[in-house]
Amino acid sequence: MAMQPRIITRGSVLHRVGQLVLFGAFALFFVRAGLEGDRTGLGLLTDAIILATAVTGLNLITGYTGQISIGHSAFFGIGAYTTAILVDRGWAHGWTFPIAAIVAFVIGCIVGLPALRLKGVYLALVTLGLAVAFPAILNYEKLADLTGGPLGIKNLTYLPPDWTPFDGRADLHLWLFWLSLGIFLLVSLIASNLLRSRVGRAMIAIRDNETAAAVMGVDRAAVKTVVFGLSAAMAGVAGSLFAIKLTLVEPAIAFFTIIGAITILVAMVVGGSASTWGPLVGALFYTYVNDWARTQGEERSIDGLAGVIFGVILILLARFAPFGVVGLLRKFRARFVRVVPKPPVALAGDLPSASAPAEANPSHASTT
Amino acid sequence: MMLAFDSSLFIQRMVDGLGEGSIYAMLALSIVVVFRATGQLNFAQGEIGLFGAFIVSTLTLSDVPIALAILIAMVVGAVLAATIERVVIRPIEHRNPGAVVVASIGLFLGINQLHSMIWGPNARSLPSVFPNDADDFFRLFGAPVRWERFGIFLVLLVLLALLWVLFNKTKIGLAMRAVANNQESAGLAGIRVGGILMIGWGLAAAISVLAASLLAPQGGLSASLMFGPFLIASAAATLGGLDSPIGAVVGGLALGLIKAIIIGYVGFLGGDMVFTVSLMIILVVLLWRPGGLFGTVTVERV
């Protein structure tokens, strides 16, 4: 150890400044992208933000509460289809978002019920079943009046409303970008406030030791069900955005199948599960690396090269960054700076290093 | 309205279901063998089997007899999987279980696309191990039963007998059971845990290669062949209990039969809904027995 890391207390001025700088850097990145307005580049960034919204939802139930779900593509699809069906029946696009969230919330609560009894891989497989069943249900001919069957629903373009500074169809990509970014920020705010509440502490307690949490008086059933619902609602809103960006929904869309569920899960772990910045970082990483691998495959026109490259990257990442990109950055940061929780008031005079164990497990460690 | 019950057709459908179920049972067995060793679902299990089936196809094209080709591919698949366990999975395992999931998804994607890279995107055909000419059938209670289907079930029975001997009568089998039960204690008792884990992955891969090679003659050999069967097999393993080999076999055969019954007799549901209905049945079973039909329910000590 050549250099001792500098110790910063959580909530101190220095810590706040650090948080602001990080937030500012991200804000600058997005505002710049939004002002430059390159159509293709912005489209890809919008995709990443939509994915990040869904990942934020999954992070609540899987990252923080420890209930593995490989079924979030279904909630994503439910949101998308709710918006599509309502727009098709003449609703204003904007009003379909809360409805999509509510529908996904209710279905999420119902799907969360097995989580009261099933654990780990068993729950994962039941949710995986949901992901597999969803496209089959969309294709089911008796529901074709509602879902449009294999053809799906088309013409969902959401032109910028009059109160926005955007100019109709020409600025459609800008409008979708800012709309997605706004909804992502709202969803992130709800998630981070939830995590700082009593429910948030209950969620983490259930993940770390369910029996102990129950003994301490945590209402496991209520917390699991409601968080499953909220998580589904966030994925649902992401689905709504997805539908209006694509302007159509149909059962064949990969994101509504198990592939979508796996994408959301991989993006979460790749970013760093149970971390504030994880969903955004993971979604950006996933979207851009996947796109890069695809370009490599196309340029060399070798069948399957894109998938092989991406697969190898995932394996290497799992090997060298088991706690995701955020975990890797945190490890790097720990060489220079150590953030410790504020000492309890009664011990305020003590050395801050007394609370060092908080850094022992990186998955629970602090954020900048 | 058809009221008369065609018993000959019924027997045929059941045998078809049994043949398909045997494939699910084999894949489910390999999923269970890995789960007992690693405590994780290996998403790449089906793809490892498919890789072997592609090797079989290459070998048969250079006139190696099909049965020998399958045996060679099983050995190759086993070596490949044991290497994967040692190089990819083990370094991650103790650090973060979530990362193991990502690694196995990476393996799934990588191996799946490797098939198109090496063997091209077009589907190939693979000869069947069993006689499958028009007159290769025998009669069971008057119903014609094709060897092609019934043979797969017989292979499953032979495989089960061999596995039973391996697990119960050999030292390696004893060590494998010990490691599945408790890795730490097994290590303290002098078992080389790492070696046993590699053998477990190798064994699972060999079984998957067998399953894929038996499925390919009917399904056509392409990169997408194993994804559906893998999902059904993992559902079957869950139904039976993820740590129970018997459960995997029962679950696999049950799902094969359920599929045959739904397609044959519950026509209004249509082909797409078969898996959905199977999942509903599994969900009900799991809510009744959270550890699956034959799985152990762990009792936690506080």
Give the closest-approach CA distance of A228 to chain B in angstroms.
Answer: 18
C-alpha to C-alpha distance for A5 and A237, rounded to whole angstroms: 41
Is the CB of B109 less than 8 angstroms away from the CB of A269? no
C-alpha to C-alpha distance for A132 and A259, rounded to whole angstroms: 9
Average pLDDT over residues B189-208: 93
Segment A188-220, tens digit of pLDDT:
999 999 999 999 999 999 999 888 998 988 998
Average pLDDT over residues A63-86: 94
Give the closest-approach CA distance of B44 to chain A in angstroms.
Answer: 11
Nearest-by-Cβ selection for A308 from B114, B279, B300: B114
Q: Which of A120-124, A333-337, B204-208 has the highest mean pLDDT?
A: B204-208
Q: Which residues of B touch A318 (CB under 8 A)?
A: 92, 99-100, 102-103, 106
Is a pLDDT exceeding 50 seen at residue A356? no
| pLDDT band, very low/low/confident/very high, at A358 (cuts 50, 70, 90) | very low
| Least-confidence region, from A202-216, A323-337, B123-137, B277-291 | B123-137
Segment B10-50, tens digit of pLDDT:
888 888 889 999 999 999 999 999 988 877 888 999 999 99
Decide if A251 contacts A72 (C-beta within 8 A): no
Give the closest-approach CA distance of B121 to chain A in angstroms.
Answer: 7
- B114 in contact with A at a CB cutoff of 8 Å? yes
C-alpha to C-alpha distance for A27 and B239, rounded to whole angstroms: 48
Is a pLDDT exceeding 60 seen at residue B216? yes
- B223 in contact with A at a CB cutoff of 8 Å? yes
| pLDDT band, very low/low/confident/very high, at A346 (cuts 50, 70, 90) | low
Instruction: Write down the pLDDT at residue B267.
Output: 66
C-alpha to C-alpha distance for B106 and A270, rounded to whole angstroms: 11
Average pLDDT over residues A144-149: 85
C-alpha A329: how far from chain center: 19
Is the CB of A269 less than 8 angstroms away from the CB of B95? no
Decide if A22 contacts A352 (C-beta within 8 A): no
Is the CB of A128 less than 8 angstroms away from the CB of B88? no
Give the closest-approach CA distance of A132 to chain B in angstroms.
Answer: 7
- B285 in contact with A at a CB cutoff of 8 Å? no
| pLDDT band, very low/low/confident/very high, at A362 (cuts 50, 70, 90) | very low
- B79 in contact with A at a CB cutoff of 8 Å? no
Nearest-by-Cβ selection for B279 from A124, A133, A314: A133
| pLDDT band, very low/low/confident/very high, at B120 (cuts 50, 70, 90) | confident
Q: Which residues of A touch B41 (CB under 8 A)?
A: 121, 124-125
Nearest CA in chain B to A325: B99
Instruction: Write down the pLDDT at residue A161.
Output: 82
Q: Which residues of B touch A122 (CB under 8 A)?
A: 238, 242, 286, 290-292
| Least-confidence region, from A184-193, A259-268, B8-17 | B8-17
- B228 in contact with A at a CB cutoff of 8 Å? no
- B266 in contact with A at a CB cutoff of 8 Å? no
| pLDDT band, very low/low/confident/very high, at A355 (cuts 50, 70, 90) | very low
Between A128 and B98, residue with greater pLDDT: A128
Instruction: Write down the pLDDT at residue A367.
Output: 43
Nearest CA in chain B to A128: B231
Instruction: Write down the pLDDT at residue B269.
Output: 63
Backbone region of residue B190 per phi and psi (left: phi > 0; alpha: psi in -120 to 50; beta: other values) = left
Neighbours of B7 (CB within 10 A): 11
| pLDDT band, very low/low/confident/very high, at B134 (cuts 50, 70, 90) | low
Mean pLDDT of chain A: 86
ipTM, two decimals, is: 0.86
- B209 in contact with A at a CB cutoff of 8 Å? no
Is the CB of B238 less than 8 angstroms away from the CB of A122? yes
Is the CB of A311 less than 8 angstroms away from the CB of B231? no
- φ, ψ for residue A289, nearest 5 deg: -65, -40
